[in-house]
Copies of this chain bind each other. A is one copy, B any other.
């Protein structure tokens, strides 16, 4: 980073189905919580970045920057960014640039999504905006379909079994049980995952992160200080469509963003105590661990078979347990890493967030001054 950027406050709504709350209600609730947690005056916020994917299509509301800015008495400059399900982390990246550029001293970052008011077919179609509208959508693909193809290919290449794959969601549900902000706090056995309804062969219902309402917010600052600093913020991209990639079982954007983030933070993967990764579908968690170097290709499931004493993975419950309000997830992951570092008194943690099938990947590394 160009200068020190401190994470001085975090806040979020509980993730879930919020029939009685609008997109702006969720935004307001999360930003109020973050400002209260930071114990700063709202007037010290001199820029806002909000990540959101589906405001126009599901809430008929664009220009969320100005909308959010008007919630503060002094209406600071505001920008909305979108990178599908990576909108939240890309908002954090944009905030870093505003801080590093000296255009802002304190930035409010929000990720927000209101998904449950529309019928599921409409939501699935809107989410396909993250795919390739010329190469993917016309063939009838949905995101469960895309990751179903990925899972089928992975099983073919590496012999991953249905029983293995079910360990992923079971672990994420187990972790979510201790997270008061998670959508699903119920334990789920691997057998229940294997026996849940088939969605897109071989993926079953409990392999898939749900449709969720929620918002998360954080305050980043150069002048207000805290023990938690951002040490790296990196974006990498890939083709929108899987059909244009050399492999379906590895995501180049994860490899690029994670290696560049470690370089920026001047650490290796082994320095990380906590990792929040993008498990939009169970298979993605396994592949992401391999792409980040925590396991060889085909061996990612080992981190779900054996618990690592040195690295917590999706301790929050991940997207499967917490729910996945798409624009909010990237912000929430970073907030969770900050909480985990404070609780464990460890030094480094990382958050890994996808847009689409890894067409965008954004990785942040946090450091706690010990």
Contacts of A355 in B (CB 8 A): 63, 66
Nearest opposing residue in chain B for A86, CB measure? B63
| A24 proximal to B (CB < 8 A) | yes
Q: Name, among A63, A99, A103, A235, the residue most crowded by chain B CB atoms within 10 Å (CB to CB).
A: A63
Given contact pairs A65-B237, A66-B83, A79-B93, A2 touches B101 in the complex (Cβ within 8 A): yes
- Is B238's CB under 8 angstroms from A75's CB? yes
The proximity string for A residues 125-149 relative to B, scoring 1 for CB distances below 8 Å and 0 otherwise, is: 1101110111001000000000000
| A240 proximal to B (CB < 8 A) | yes
| A190 proximal to B (CB < 8 A) | no
Interface on chain A toward B: helix, strand, loop, or mixed SS? mixed
- How far is A134 from B63 in the complex, measured between Cα atoms in Å? 13
| A359 proximal to B (CB < 8 A) | yes
Q: Name, among A62, A84, A237, the residue most crowded by chain B CB atoms within 10 Å (CB to CB).
A: A62
One of A53-61, A284-292, A336-344 contacting the partner: A53-61
| A171 proximal to B (CB < 8 A) | no
Question: Which 8 pairs, one residue from A and one from B, show the smallest C-beta to C-beta distance?
Answer: A100-B101, A62-B129, A77-B235, A66-B359, A69-B237, A63-B84, A101-B101, A61-B133
Q: A-side interface residues toward B, CB under 8 Å? A: 2, 22, 24, 53-57, 59-63, 65-67, 69-70, 75-84, 90, 93-94, 96-103, 125-126, 128-130, 132-134, 137, 234-240, 244, 355-356, 359-360
